[in-house]
Amino acid sequence: MQHPMPQLNALKAFEAAARHLSLTKAAQELHVTAGALSHQIRGLEELLGLKLFERGVRSIALTRAGLRLYPGLRAGFTQIRDAVDTVGRDGNERALVISTPPGFTSKWLAPRLYRFSAAHPEIDPRVSSSVINANFVTDGVDIAVRNMPADSQDDPELALETLVSMAYVPVCSPKLIASHGPIRSGEELKAMPLIHDESLGSRPGLLGWADWFAAAAITGVDLSRGLRFTSTDHALDATIEGAGVLLTHDILAYDELRTGRLLIPFALSLNSKRVYSLVYPRRRGDHPNVQAFRNWIKKEMKALDWNKWRASLMRASTPSVAEVETRPRSARAGKPRSSVSRA
């Protein structure tokens, strides 16, 4: 017996929920409430006479019937999205929408993006900075750079390409050293004004001053003091002006360290077990604009000269707890690092 054709909205609700395995995320994508989405899925189940999801307290899983239904709907809606995307881009093939975190945009990408435009005058890059992960279905984003766990799993819909692994280093400006004197030990560093980047502690693997001082075996630090920022770029700007010592991502401080606007006062770094990765829909991977940006940004990362970066180290007269690793950073790009003590 043939089932009557379900309503398109019910099929969309099921496909989004099956793709995310989350009613909340699916509802956000479709701009409906989770209750309305659940109602649509239950209506589809009643129409088909089949249970499509096993519902837990905070999770859902596809049943055997759901597993049979999902691949066909996923393929169908992918084709629909591609068709609409193609029509929407007619006459605007020059545009490339890039989603990146604000700190990465201002401190690394923006100073280099002119080189991409010079190499590819046929492409108009449009940067959308956000701490929220791009939704490639609804946001019109072509490719994204994201701060992700190094062990992120492959996604059937999205391609992931690791660009560079991330470590945390303490940084300060020459102005601070001029006014407070050189920092010859971790004990001296704990007495310096600290700057806290509170965006560092919101995700797994993101570390802060408490982790750094613990790794340095330094106790008795008053971490309640100091300036606090919720964005990395603002924290770095304050550090450049001499406001204090900041613990930050090495890649975001790269240009300031290379040019001498920032220094590393004490050579102990922490590995974050996180990476910056390229993320883009697999179906868009062969688009010329996406390919051009992929090739360009990987070339830029490979060209980073971490030998110049080492010149920012102010060696103490007494041995440091850990010396900065001497192998070139290019050898580490794209490779997750283990735990503590190399920059």
What is the per-residue pLDDT across 111-143, written as a single tens digit (0 to 9) for each? 999 999 999 999 999 998 877 777 777 678 899
Give the range of the structural domain holding residue 131, as residue numbers without chain letter: 95-163+276-302
Largest CA distance in the chain: 85
- Domain assignment present for 3: no
CB atoms within 10 A of CB 132: 8
Polymer length in residues for the chain = 343
Q: Do 139 and 103 fall into the same domain?
A: yes
Q: Do 147 and 186 fall into the same domain?
A: no
- Domain assignment present for 340: no
Q: Do 281 and 246 fall into the same domain?
A: no
Q: Do 158 and 170 fall into the same domain?
A: no
Tokens, residue 144: 């994204």
Q: Indicate whether this model's pTM tops 0.85.
A: no
Mean pLDDT score, 294-310: 85
Domain count, the chain: 3
Mean pLDDT score, 147-156: 83
Q: In what order do the strands lie in the sheet with 95-100?
A: 124-129, 95-100, 143-149, 270-281, 158-171, 245-249, 194-197, 227-229
Pairing state between β 227-229 and 194-197: parallel
Tokens, residue 181: 């004197």
Task: Judge contact between 245 and 194, C-beta under 8 A.
Answer: yes
- Domain assignment present for 122: yes
Q: Do 103 and 126 fall into the same domain?
A: yes
Tokens, residue 65: 């019937």
Instruction: List pLDDT tens digits, range 223-244.
Output: 888 899 988 889 999 999 999 9
CATH of the domain at 14: 1.10.10.10
Whole-angstrom CA distances from 149 to 56, 197, 297 are 26, 19, 20
Give the best-scoring range by mean pLDDT among 174-188, 280-294, 303-317, 329-343: 280-294
Domain termination residue (choose one: 60, 88, 116): 88
Q: Do 157 and 36 fall into the same domain?
A: no
Share of the chain above pLDDT 90, in %: 37
In the prediction, which pLDDT does 312 show? 55
Q: Which amino acid is at 333?
A: A
Instruction: List pLDDT tens digits, range 21-43.
Output: 899 888 888 888 988 999 999 99
In the prediction, which pLDDT does 339 show? 38
- Domain assignment present for 338: no
Q: Do 179 and 311 fall into the same domain?
A: yes
Q: Exposed, middle or buried, 338 (CB in 10 Å: 0-12/13-18/19+)?
A: exposed
Which of 198, 176, 204, 178 is CA-nearest to residue 247? 198
CATH of the domain at 204: 3.40.190.10
Domain termination residue (choose one: 54, 88, 122): 88
Domain termination residue (choose one: 62, 88, 114): 88
Q: Which amino acid is at 247?
A: L
